[in-house]
Amino acid sequence: MSEILILNGPNLNRLGNREPGIYGSASYDDLVQFVQDAGEAVGRTVEVRQTNDEGEMIDWLHEAADLETPVVLNPGAWGHYSYALRDACAMLTAPLVEVHISNIHAREAFRHHSVISPVARGVIAGLGVEGYADAIQAIVRFTA
């Protein structure tokens, strides 16, 4: 399989404008280009999606489960409390890597716990947008 699905949750479309001291100055368009370049560098096609709608995200995860597509997921705030999202992630048979741009463990206490992490193959947090490249490389290793 050559495709990797990159799914981004709420507020990630506001990158570059939203708390640049925490999330950096890269825009969402910059993130998309970076992720596509990172996929190309390892010979994989990536599809990048973003939504502020939890139901849409769950539908995308169902699609990935049905197609056995590996997923890199930045769940945003949903990762801290959405059991519906966690249950959709648990349906995946291909590898799932959870990504957070900021170090969730160095922030507010409610961000320290992820309901997604227990069903993810790996978790990357605090490396900025570069963490997506690490997640793609991990997916490549997991699917080799």
pLDDT at 143: 94
Q: Is 117 annotated as a binding residue?
A: no
Q: Is 80 annotated as a binding residue?
A: yes
* Digit-coded pLDDT (tens) for 42-70: 999 999 999 999 999 999 999 999 999 99
Helices and strands (H, E) in the chain, number of each type? 5, 5
Say how many C-beta atoms besides its own lie within 10 A of residue 93's C-beta.
Answer: 11
Say how many C-beta atoms besides its own lie within 10 A of residue 21's C-beta.
Answer: 7
Residue 101's SS3 state is coil
CA angle 127, 130, 133 (to 5 degrees): 125
23 is catalytic: yes
pLDDT above 50 for 1: no
Q: Is 62 annotated as a binding residue?
A: no
* Digit-coded pLDDT (tens) for 66-123: 999 999 999 999 999 999 999 999 999 999 999 999 888 767 676 768 999 999 999 9
pLDDT above 80 for 11: yes
Q: Which of 23, 28, 62, 132 is catalytic?
A: 23
Nearest to 84 by CA among 53, 55, 104, 110: 55
Token duo for residue 121: 């193959």
Residue 119's SS3 state is helix
Domains of the chain (ranges; CATH) run 3-143 (3.40.50.9100)
Distance, first Cα to last Cα, the chain: 9
pLDDT at 8: 98
100 is catalytic: yes
CA–CA separation, 97 vs 124, rounded Å? 8
pLDDT above 90 for 12: yes
pLDDT at 125: 94
Q: Which of 83, 100, 113, 132 is catalytic?
A: 100
CA–CA separation, 21 vs 7, rounded Å? 23
Q: Is 101 annotated as a binding residue?
A: yes
